[in-house]
Amino acid sequence: MRVLLAEDDAKLGRLIKHMLEKEMVQVDWVLRGDTAIDYAIHSPYDVIILDWMMPGETGIEVCHYLRRQNYQGAILILTAKDAVSDRVLGLNTGADDYLVKPFEFAELIARIRALSRRSNVKLKEEILQIGSLIINRTTRSVQRGNDEIQLTVREFQLLDLLVQNRGHVVPREVLLDRIWGLDGNVSSNNLDAYVRLLRKKINLSDDDVELQNIRGIGFKLETHHVF
């Protein structure tokens, strides 16, 4: 399961991320509402958790924006507001569920799993063909012809992020933040090593796909045939 957590309280956000990861949930954690919008648009999530009060955009504003963009994923609002009118506002804005702080972690994980089960009923496979590569973003698998290419979680995240931004340079800082998170102790040299391994595994040597190193900035995936 993959979750986007938008929580500007660093202590609480770090705790939620840690506890979810102990439950084998993959978590992307951001501190601002506008950043949450960017992540939600460019990456697939089973559930998005939005704190009501955040800088950039509030959780309610993020939820409202995503629903206006026809976002179909599950959204859970976290807030200290416990009035009935506030709950009604959150649900009417498009949230699927609403949890009042302080809360028990067991309740949070139970609600997340319930939302994930509901959203997965309607899930359709999202498949991209890039040159000779077939990328299934739902099962997070990669194939060339009938051969499956074994990628680690980090390698797939790297490929997926580059594919979603194909034709555009993705800065090193963005890759490090998106894949390893705010607390990730990963250097730019480590990123170079992951890119080299990815190149070797998917054999980016044909004319259809080219992974470019833009010196001093980041990486760009150029594709000549996208289906």
Pairing of strands 141-144, 133-136: antiparallel
Q: What is the pLDDT of residue 227?
A: 44
Question: Do 108 and 153 fall into the same domain?
Answer: no
Please check whether residues 110 and 139 belong to one and the same domain.
Answer: no
List Cα–Cα distances, 136 to 48, 89, 143, in angstroms: 21, 36, 8
Domain around 21? 2-121
Q: Which of 74, 95, 121 is the last residue of a domain?
A: 121
pTM as predicted: 0.55
Contacts of 95 (CB under 8 A, 6+ apart): 50, 63, 75, 76, 77
Q: What is the pLDDT of residue 48?
A: 95
What mean pLDDT do residues 76-104 have? 78
Q: Which residues are 222's β-sheet partners?
A: 210
Count: domains in the chain:
2
Q: Examine the domain organization and report whether 146 and 111 are in the same domain.
A: no
Q: Which of 79, 99, 121 is the last residue of a domain?
A: 121
Domain boundary among 106, 121, 136: 121
Cis peptide before 44 (omega within 30 of 0): no
The more confidently predicted of residues 125 and 220 is 220
pLDDT at 36 over 50: yes
The average pLDDT across 68-88 equals 78
**Quick one: pLDDT at residue 122?**
44
Q: What pLDDT does 15 receive?
A: 93
Considering the domain architecture, whether residues 114 and 213 belong to the same structural domain is answered as no
For the chain, give the number of residues: 227
23 and 100 assigned to the same domain: yes
Considering the chain, what is the average pLDDT of its residues? 82
What CATH number is associated with residue 163?
Answer: 1.10.10.10
Q: How much of the chain is in helix, strand and coil states, percent to nearest 5?
A: 40, 25, 35
Residues 107 and 153 in one domain: no
For 130-156, what is the mean pLDDT?
83
| Structure confidence by residue, pLDDT tens digits, 193-223 | 888 888 888 765 555 677 888 888 899 887 7
| Same domain, yes or no: 110 and 172 | no
Pick from 79, 77, 75: which is nearest to 101 by CA? Answer: 79
Looking at the fold, whether 70 and 167 belong to one and the same domain comes out as: no
**Rounded to an integer, what distance in angstroms lies between the CA atom of residue 218 and that of residue 168?**
10
* Whole-number pLDDT of residue 182: 55
* Encoded tokens for 18: 């840690």
8 A C-beta contact, residue 101 and residue 134: no
Angstrom distance (rounded) from CA 219 to CA 47: 28
Distance CA 88, CA 65 (A): 17
Q: What is the CATH number of the domain that holds 21?
A: 3.40.50.2300
80 and 6 share one domain: yes
Residue 218 Cα to chain centre, angstroms: 19
CA distances from 128 to 145, 151, 227 (A): 13, 16, 7
The residue-averaged pLDDT of 124-142 equals 77
* Whether residue 217 sits in one domain with residue 149: yes
Structure tokens at 224: 């000549």
